[in-house]
């Protein structure tokens, strides 16, 4: 790994940590940012290390990457199955952003998504409020954001018995996932959906399939009644 990438490791050993610590000590003003970046890259495979690095980030007193750091903490908690702690971390990020409107993190998308995945009915109102209030209409030109926005709405609507809405949300999400033309031609991967086979994507697909099946059965039933 090049000298410029000493804070972008995706695995962790004693040797890597020793190098990281040595260079972090010389980083000075940029140290908090490097802690946050490195923790984010370790959150899935080495969540406990990520949590430790994020704790160190907060100890620096930095005020610039606070929301992002809360999101990294949430991501690490998800990796070890601590969903309540992850939701609390995302809420901390959202609360910080509310007090600092110029800062935006992934919390506005990941919090509703996690609420939907976990079936947390007690948080549905808050999740729907985030989806309604924290996004601008023009942001929906990004296919990946449109996928996650509609995809988060779909299971919540389904769980609340609003099946027509759930179907519409799910089908909009899947249409966004099929888009292959990026919003910015010079950046061919920005704004495109990269993954739909995870648990989130599979649930969205099931809602769309179930809704189409119900529509088909209604048509058949109506046809039978007319005979």
Average pLDDT, stretch 150-167? 96
Q: Tell me what pLDDT residue 217 has.
A: 43
Is the pLDDT reported for residue 10 higher than 60? yes
Q: Which of 100, 101, 97 is nearest to 71 (CA)?
A: 97
Average pLDDT, stretch 197-203? 94
What's CA 207's distance to the chain center, in Å? 20
What's CA 8's distance to the chain center, in Å? 20
Q: Which of 161, 193, 156 is nearest to 174 (CA)?
A: 193
What is the tens place of the pLDDT at every residue in 21-72? 999 999 989 999 999 999 999 999 999 999 999 999 999 999 999 999 999 9
Is the pLDDT reported for residue 227 higher than 60? no
Cα distance from N-terminal residue to C-terminal residue, the chain: 72
pTM of this structure: 0.88
| Domain boundaries, given as residue ranges, for the chain | 1-105, 112-227
What is the tens place of the pLDDT at every residue in 84-107? 999 999 999 999 999 999 999 999
């Amino acid at each position: 790994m090049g000298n410029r990438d000493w804070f972008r490791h995706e695995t962790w050993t004693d040797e890597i940590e020793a190098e990281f610590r040595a260079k972090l000590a010389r980083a000075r003003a940029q140290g908090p940012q490097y802690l946050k970046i490195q923790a984010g890259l370790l959150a899935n495979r080495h969540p406990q290390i990520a949590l430790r690095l994020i704790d160190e980030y907060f100890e620096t007193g930095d005020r610039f990457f606070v929301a992002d750091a809360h999101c990294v903490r949430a991501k690490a908690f998800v990796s070890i199955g601590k969903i309540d702690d992850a939701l609390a971390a995302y809420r901390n990020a959202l609360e910080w952003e509310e007090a600092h409107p110029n800062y935006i993190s992934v919390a506005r998308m990941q919090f509703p998504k996690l609420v939907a995945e976990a079936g947390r009915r007690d948080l549905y109102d808050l999740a729907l409020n985030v989806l309604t209030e924290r996004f601008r209409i023009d942001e929906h030109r990004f296919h990946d954001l449109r996928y996650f926005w509609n995809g988060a709405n779909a299971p919540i609507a389904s769980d609340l018995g609003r099946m027509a809405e759930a179907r519409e949300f799910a089908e909009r999400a899947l249409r966004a996932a099929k888009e292959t033309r990026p919003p910015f031609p010079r950046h061919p991967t920005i704004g495109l959906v990269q993954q739909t086979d995870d648990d989130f994507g599979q649930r969205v697909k099931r809602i769309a399939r179930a809704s189409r099946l119900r529509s088909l059965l209604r048509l058949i039933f109506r046809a039978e009644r007319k005979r």
